[in-house]
Structure 1
Amino acid sequence: MLLLALVWGLSIPVTKLGLITIPPLTLTAFRFAVAIPFMMLLLIGKKPLPWKAVPAVAALGVLGIGVGQVSQTFGVAGTSASIGTILSATIPLFIVLFATIRLKQAVPVSRLLGVAAAFAGIVVVALENAGEAGTGGTTALGPVWMLVSAVAVAFYYIWSVELTNRYGTVVVATWSTAFGFAALVPWAGWEAYHTSFELTGQALAAAAYLGLAVTAAGLFLWLRILRNVPASIAASVQYLQPVFGIAASAMMFGDRIGLQFMAGVALILVGLAMAVRAQDTK
């Protein structure tokens, strides 16, 4: 879980590097084009995906990639690396909330207070560098894209747990990724055709890291963790993602980390902790 927090914590700054010369949909397509061949190798010796499961797994892939990953890439393009990192850290919060809804549990007051604190922190963080120009600047829609991504990715994880329990982690993760990639390719092709870009060594290295470490290794590890560890515990360790991501962002892009930013981060982490703690103490 600690290794996964490091790998995923670096994903936003690395995505920012790739976006310097490659547009969002194209970078996302390169990422999954790298990941899928390695994921397919892991299907050797596994039971095939039943035809009756194809619609659900395909929809899962479209949700995870077509909505979750694409909106995250647009969000990273519209936020500084530090702000993108901290907004992506809200995924555990939505995981716990969706798990609560799926299990039809009562929502404690402390969890509602945690949600309010987390979103207050999001507003504080997003406003610090809003409107700044350049690679590290934050636009009005950037944080919105990141929150859309967080909701979609969290729902993807909760839904995928149910499917992996039936058909296996490797099978569901691989085929959902393949279906999502297939839905993305036409849009990425259109973007690549109408947008000039440059395939630099840095961009290709970013796509390789995102595809191999974040997507292939990270996804399998996370789904395996969710099958063996309670959602609240698995989610809580991901609070370390902002630590790794913000530190990397400060070194790579010189992102400003002032008092307002730190106050927003504190609110978000306190809110996330309250939301998860409410489930642990029921």
Structure 2
Amino acid sequence: MSNSTTSSTVAANPSKIPGAPTHDYSPRHLGAMLLLALIWGLSIPVTKLGLQDLPPLTLTALRFAFAVPLMLLFTLGRQTLPWRALPKVAALGLLGIGIGQVAQTFGVAGTSASVGTIVSATIPLFIVVFAAIRLGQHVSRIQALGLLTAFAGIALVALGDMDAAAATSVTTMWGVGWMLLSSVAIAFYYVWSVELTNEHGTATVAAWSTTFGFLALLPWVGWEWTRAPTQFTGMGIGAAAYLGVFVTVAGLYMWLGLLRVVPARVAAAVQYLQPIFGIAAAAALLGDRLGPAFVVGSVLVLAGLGITLSRR
């Protein structure tokens, strides 16, 4: 959803921008949007399954071991990355993967899949905040109200889940904290990447930032292996493959392809279904029980998300 931070000039004159949405989209495109919401919505429950067999850093590194070769393949014949851009792109990868994705994996380990799904849905809210700070985009009073509503919902979800044990895990404050750190880091990654992708191309920046982030993880994975033996299982490898191939690579290119045809506001609205798919999967696959506090808190988060992005 990083394309929501494009300039007001682009928004005002979409017909003059190469690759702008044509508004000529079909039921097939709607189906693609629903499929993407399902793919991304399943990411937290699948991570939870993978963590049953693999430790957090190993699962994260294995995920990007699947993703990096495919992403580099997509850069063939595209814009090359100049040497002067390497430090910024490397730092972007460290932020997005070394902090954002690693924190998310630790957060999933410390929360139920349902709570992790809801807290991760705050990424677009933090994007609005950072876009206002870094890109000078205005935040209206109604959007500020949406932010406060969503964060009140997070508090209700987290505190309510701590009082009711889920079938497979209990939410902790540390887990929620890791998830919030992940949302902040990933949101800033998206906003910062706007500047770099405008200059060097989306596929190029995405591939090389992911590569640098993956390489930075490897020493920490070695350290993790010295602390506890790691046994690779079919479920652990399958979870990493799903996260790397479908969530990271296929999801990215599906999203970019849809934004060439479908207005961003329509694509974003369909992606509000992600938490619903994630919560349903958590209940079906992991047996998460959803109490009244969780339901009310989830409604507040989704309402806050809708209010905040209503003018974006």
1:3 paired residue among 10, 35, 38: 35
Q: Rg: which structure is higher? A: 2
Letter in 2 for 1:255: D
Could you list the runs of 5+ residues in structure 1 that have no partner in the other structure? none
2:84 paired residue among 49, 52, 56: 52
2:220 paired residue among 187, 190, 197: 187
1:82 equivalenced with 2:127 (yes/no): no
1:29 paired residue among 42, 61, 66: 61
Inter-partner Cα distance in structure 2 for 1:23 and 1:71:
13
Query: Which shifted more, 101-110 or 187-196?
Result: 101-110
1:214 equivalenced with 2:247 (yes/no): yes
Inter-partner Cα distance in structure 1 for 2:107 and 2:256:
24
- What pairs with 1:95-114 in structure 2 (closer than 5 Å)? 95-114=127-146
Inter-partner Cα distance in structure 2 for 1:246 and 1:165:
35
**How many residues end up aligned between the 2 structures?**
279
1:265 equivalenced with 2:289 (yes/no): no
Equivalent residue, structure 2, for 1:175: 208
Equivalent residue, structure 1, for 2:75: 43
Letter in 1 for 2:232: L
Inter-partner Cα distance in structure 1 for 2:45 and 2:208:
27
Shift of 1:6: 1.3
Inter-partner Cα distance in structure 2 for 1:275 and 1:206:
32
Mapped contact 2:167–2:287 kept (Cα < 8 A): no
Residue 40 to residue 30, structure 1, CA distance change in 2 (3 Å): same
After superposition, what is the alpha-carbon deviation per residue over 1:143-194, rounded to whole angstroms, capped at 9, x for unaligned? 1111111111111112212211211111111100000011111011110221
Equivalent residue, structure 2, for 1:163: 196
Give me the CA root mean square deviation: 2.0
Query: Which shifted more, 43-52 or 99-108?
Result: 99-108
1:148 paired residue among 181, 203, 215: 181
Inter-partner Cα distance in structure 1 for 2:259 and 2:126:
14
1:119 equivalenced with 2:151 (yes/no): yes
Shift of 1:119: 0.7
Equivalent residue, structure 1, for 2:280: 247
After superposition, what is the alpha-carbon deviation per residue over 1:208-265, rounded to whole angstroms, capped at 9, x for unaligned? 0011001112233445667887766554433211110000000001101122111000
Inter-partner Cα distance in structure 1 for 2:271 and 2:133:
21
Could you list the runs of 5+ residues in structure 2 that have no partner in the other structure? 1-32
After superposition, what is the alpha-carbon deviation per residue over 1:32-89, rounded to whole angstroms, capped at 9, x for unaligned? 1111111121122123210011111111100000010000000000000010011111
Inter-partner Cα distance in structure 1 for 2:90 and 2:123:
22
Inter-partner Cα distance in structure 1 for 2:212 and 2:263:
28
TM-score, structure 2 length as denominator? Answer: 0.84
Mapped contact 2:166–2:287 kept (Cα < 8 A): no
Mapped contact 1:157–1:223 kept (Cα < 8 A): no
Letter in 2 for 1:36: V
Equivalent residue, structure 2, for 1:18: 50
Inter-partner Cα distance in structure 2 for 1:179 and 1:225:
27
Letter in 2 for 1:78: G
Equivalent residue, structure 2, for 1:237: 270
Letter in 2 for 1:122: I
Shift of 1:99: 2.2
Letter in 2 for 1:52: R
Residue 257 to residue 133, structure 1, CA distance change in 2 (3 Å): closer
Residue 217 to residue 234, structure 1, CA distance change in 2 (3 Å): same
